Structure 1
Amino acid sequence: MVLDQPATPPTILLSVKLAETVDADLKLHGHDRERGGILLGLRRGPHLHIDEATLPMRWDIGTMFAFQRSSRGHKELALRRWRQSHKTIDWVGEWHSHPERFASPSSIDIRSWRAITRDRAAPMAFLIIGLERNWIGLCTPDRDAPIRYKEVERSKAGFAFQPAEAKP
């Protein structure tokens, strides 16, 4: 008799390079408006290894309470990285900042993420940078709500995240 093994939950890995890039951008420009971009990395089976983030571009619109990413600029950069990497570096998610102590997604964020994930037909990571605590999660095409993740490991190379709540 063969028993089904539970699927390993996807792990999200964020590199120190990505964290430093976003942090430096927010320290310079993130005082009075939201900022954001896309996340680029590798899909390794169900896992996402995220190593790069685009920064806001001149076509993007950031206000105190919203960030509207234009596909222009970000799309071209993602396609260039995809070609340069021989089709291994992919658009794996998005990030933006929130001017709140403890970041959490708004209903607008969740609707946008659901549309992106369904259009891509692949799991996508979403990161919100807060003033004191960040929020990271994964959306899958078959779910309406994002899965919230928590940090489970930290090293000199980066950070590992797993689902915050185990499935029943």
Structure 2
Amino acid sequence: MTVTDLAKRVLPHADEQELAAAVRQLRHWTQIGLLSLGAGESVFTGTGRHREYEDSALYSAALLFEIGKWKLPPSLIDRVVKSLGFSIERRANANDWQLWQDAVSGKADIVLWVEMHKPADRPGLVFGLEGRMSFANRLSNKSKSDDHVSTFVVFLTDLFSRLQG
């Protein structure tokens, strides 16, 4: 799948201008290591040669565009995506890998949550993958004395289901 194919799948209703911007953004994310290319592909392909992405890049790209809507500092997005990507791609955390696969396949209702903690000038960041109901229960039991400031949630199974077909 080329970068343009990827952009069209993630943003199927984008007009020509939005699609061109999405292609530029995907290329940037590839160059800084947030998106992986297919085996044997190089980030710097040269003029006239298209990079080929593995099908799994579709899900990472969808997540990047979704997280991008939060307007978080790029360094925080980078931290979440690289840490999560390391866990998923290298199966470093078997539980995260299985939850990711369940979200991709639609087998289970999985969320990615990201919590921001004080101090606000240099926020701490905690994130993870979890079943939707488990997350909802944990969130409802949080203490008001926590230094927790904000929680962002991506309903991965819902997001990924839009990519099918």
Q: Report if TM-score (shorter chain) is over 0.5.
A: no
Rg comparison, structure with higher value: 2
Give the TM-score taking structure 1 as reference length.
0.30
More helix by share: 2
